[in-house]
Amino acid sequence: MGAVVTPGSRGKIDPAASSGGPLIPIGALAQRTRCNIETIRFYEKIGVLPKPARTEGGHRAYGRAHVERLTFVRRARELGFTLDEVRTLLRLAEAANVSCAEAKDLAAIHLAGVKTKIADLRAMQKTLTTLIAQCDARGDAADLPGCPLIETLLGAA
C-alpha cells in the first residue's frame, strides 16, 4: 500500500482513527464493514467518519478505529436511526463517562416513531386489502366501468 503520510497539509485526522494495527484501503473497509464505498466517502464528507490517513500515492488508508466506528454507524442506520441521531449516539459512545439514560431516551423516542410507522403501514395494508377485494369482487368483467382502486386514488370513491 505504500508509506502513510502523516496528518498535515491533507487535512486533520483523528489520530486514534489510524492507529492500532495495519491500515487498509477503502475497498477492504467496505468489505469488512459491509458498507458501500460511496457511503463511506459520504460519511467522511459529512464528518460522521473521520478522514483517513493517505498513502504516498494519495489513497485512503483506514485503521481499526475506522472499522469500529463505521460498523457502529451501519448498525445504528440498520435500526433506522437518522444521521443526527447517529451523531448523538457516537458522541455518547465516545464520552468518558457514558450514561445509559441519554441513549435510552433517544432510543425510546426512536421506538415511538417506529411504532407510529408500523401503525401507518398496518392501516395501509388494511386499505389496500379492502381495495383489492373490491376489485376481485368485480371479477374480470370487461363491461363494468371503473375500478374501485383507481376511483379511491382519484378521490371519487
Q: Which of 58, 81, 104 is the last residue of a domain?
A: 81
Q: 74 lies in a domain?
A: yes
Q: 96 lies in a domain?
A: no
The pLDDT, as a whole number, for residue 111 is 97
Residues 67 and 21 in one domain: yes
CA dist 44 → 6, 21, 69, 120 (Å): 18, 21, 11, 34
C-alpha grid cell, residue 33: 464493514
Q: Are 86 and 34 in contact (CB under 8 A)?
A: no
The pLDDT, as a whole number, for residue 9 is 31
Q: Which of 81, 100, 129 is the last residue of a domain?
A: 81
The pLDDT, as a whole number, for residue 106 is 95
Among candidate residues 97, 30, 38, 93, the one with its CA nearest the CA of residue 62: 30
Side-chain half-sphere CA neighbours of 2 within 13 A: 13
Q: 93 lies in a domain?
A: no
Q: Are 23 and 53 in contact (CB under 8 A)?
A: yes
Q: 99 lies in a domain?
A: no
DSSP string covering the chain: --PEEPSBTTB---GGGS-SS--B-HHHHHHHHT--HHHHHHHHHTTSSPPPEEETTS-EEB-HHHHHHHHHHHHHHHTT--HHHHHHHHHHHH-SS--HHHHHHHHHHHHHHHHHHHHHHHHHHHHHHHHHHHHHHHTT-TTS---HHHHHHHT--
The pLDDT, as a whole number, for residue 44 is 96
Residues 122 and 72 in one domain: no
Total tally of structural domains belonging to the chain: 2
Q: 86 lies in a domain?
A: no
Domain that holds residue 126: 117-154
The pLDDT, as a whole number, for residue 141 is 58
Residues 130 and 69 in one domain: no
The pLDDT, as a whole number, for residue 74 is 97
CATH code where residue 66 lies: 1.10.1660.10
The pLDDT, as a whole number, for residue 147 is 83
Q: What is the pLDDT along the chain (157 residues), one digit of tens a residue?
A: 444 433 333 332 233 444 567 899 999 999 999 999 999 999 999 999 999 999 999 999 999 999 999 999 999 999 999 999 999 999 999 888 877 899 999 999 999 999 999 999 999 999 999 988 888 887 765 566 778 888 888 885 4
C-alpha grid cell, residue 155: 378521490
Q: Which of 81, 108, 140 is the last residue of a domain?
A: 81
